[in-house]
Structure 1
């Protein structure tokens, strides 16, 4: 008689009537009894999420590259055509000067009138393109960011102030194009 606590396992021949082999361990792990998804399901869900994230990353990377390329093209075009607006405003000034040279018998009055009209066109072109005069008044404080003093002269005014303007300066928006050339008052 066999001991019931330690039953002896008797090998049975394979073939008909033999009991089926137990299920493989991975299949058992795929469907646990407690209702949670199995490892294979988790793996396939994670792989799907990874593929989705990779696709989103690649799309974002391509979008960023397109934005960078477009920005470079915009900067390049801005440099290339930055002067276009100013050039369009200057063409009528040149036309007026050429027409003045075609006049066969100009009088002093007609020349003066033509120059005044051409100066108005030029002033208008400067205004449209934010080209502003730097024209300090006598007694204004000397500003080294906008004025260039070429001489210091004795004067009856405070030191380091503008005595006279020898040449106007110009600014484009907030950037100095050319400083105003001035004489400054010497210290007393």
Structure 2
């Protein structure tokens, strides 16, 4: 038997001895049965309390684990709405830098340098918070888990399912997709 049960049994025997029931031959048979019934009831109650305690302990451990998991999720993904709202800022800065001509670059070098610095800072903040860019290239294979097909067109010299145009970069927040990369995909080219 286990230690707590042995302790309870020995305490009950001590109490019986103090009451004068220590010797079996001095005890009346009906009193012995009554004490045995009481002892059995106490053991059943003890087992019931032990079972309830173990269940409560398991519930508390499960609550602790759930709380820890929720805390980590909130820490990693709590800012996903703000992150999604910042993606158009990235897109607009990128578009601004892509349309600049050499003449404009020479005439407005300070302004363009400021835009480039802002873009680098935004990318740095994204990296600091676990946001990674999905930057497909023309000719890459279309992957529906990270790409969104905006259109499909038959283009000679390509294979079906190849990316033929990239309209917007996609982004991941840790291991979750914030926004799929928006791409054009080649369909089966006409012969």
Q: TM-score range by the shorter chain?
A: 0.5 to 0.7
Query: TM-score under structure 2 normalisation?
Result: 0.55
Residue 84 of structure 1 and its aligned partner are, at CA, apart by 5.8
- TM alignment of 1:149-164, pairs within 5 A: 149-153=149-153, 154-164=155-165
Provide Cα deviations, 1:99-147, integer angstroms capped at 9, x if missing partner: xxxxxxxx93333333323222221222233222121111111112222
- Structure 2 residue 37 is the aligned partner of structure 1 residue 39: no
In the alignment, structure 2 segments of 5+ residues that lack a partner are: 1-26, 87-106
Match for residue 140 of structure 2?
140
Shift in alpha-carbon separation, 1:83–1:175, aligned structure 2, 3 A = closer
- Structure 2 residue 116 is the aligned partner of structure 1 residue 130: no
Query: TM-score under structure 1 normalisation?
Result: 0.56
Conserved? CA contact 1:155–1:163, under 8 Å: no
Q: Aligned partners of 2:188, 2:139: CA distance in 1, in Å?
A: 13
Between Structure 1 and Structure 2, which shows a larger proportion of helix residues? 2
Match for residue 56 of structure 1?
50
Q: Aligned partners of 1:84, 1:149: CA distance in 2, in Å?
A: 27
Residue 186 of structure 1 and its aligned partner are, at CA, apart by 2.9
Shift in alpha-carbon separation, 1:169–1:85, aligned structure 2, 3 A = closer
Shift in alpha-carbon separation, 1:186–1:28, aligned structure 2, 3 A = closer
Q: Aligned partners of 1:145, 1:86: CA distance in 2, in Å?
A: 20
Q: What RMSD over aligned residues (CA atoms) do the two structures have, in Å?
A: 3.5
Conserved? CA contact 1:133–1:168, under 8 Å: yes
Conserved? CA contact 1:171–1:177, under 8 Å: yes
In the alignment of these two chains, the number of paired residues is 138
Q: Aligned partners of 1:138, 1:76: CA distance in 2, in Å?
A: 39
Match for residue 114 of structure 1?
114
Residue 172 of structure 1 and its aligned partner are, at CA, apart by 2.0
Residue 70 of structure 1 and its aligned partner are, at CA, apart by 5.3
Q: Aligned partners of 2:156, 2:50: CA distance in 1, in Å?
A: 74
